Amino acid sequence: MINGDQLKNGFYPLLFLLAALAGFIHQSFVPEEAREIVIRCYVLNTLLAALIHFVILRLRDRHSEKLGFLFLIGSSLKFLFFFLFIYPVFNADGDLSSMEFATFFIPYSLTTAVETVVLVQQLNRS
């Protein structure tokens, strides 16, 4: 069985490994001119997921009643960064295609799922 320390210490390598692998696979399905934005989406979502995870773990003892709100704020922060840094690139042609939406939503979903599963396990062990 995996204990809390192993999860805490293994979260960041797991997150970065899964994001890198998914990003590599994802790039093979998009046109060459869209590959840079795919990388940007994975990097942005991965770094924000790592930051959110770090903040929640640091505040879990002092503010345990607010962790759900912190998680929601973190997810909102990911969308804010999307609208500030990614959406303008996608909307340059005036249309948000399903491929462009998936380019953001796949890394968002992946990093949020990994973050959620690990946080639930870590917080239940605390």
Confidence of residue 6 (pLDDT cuts 50, 70, 90): very low
Distance (Å, rounded) from C-alpha 26 to C-alpha 21?
9
How high is the mean pLDDT of the chain? Answer: 88
Quick one: CA dihedral 28, 110, 114, 53, positive or negative?
Answer: positive
Task: Supply the pLDDT for residue 3.
Answer: 47
In this structure, the number of other CB atoms found within 10 A of the CB of residue 59 comes to 13
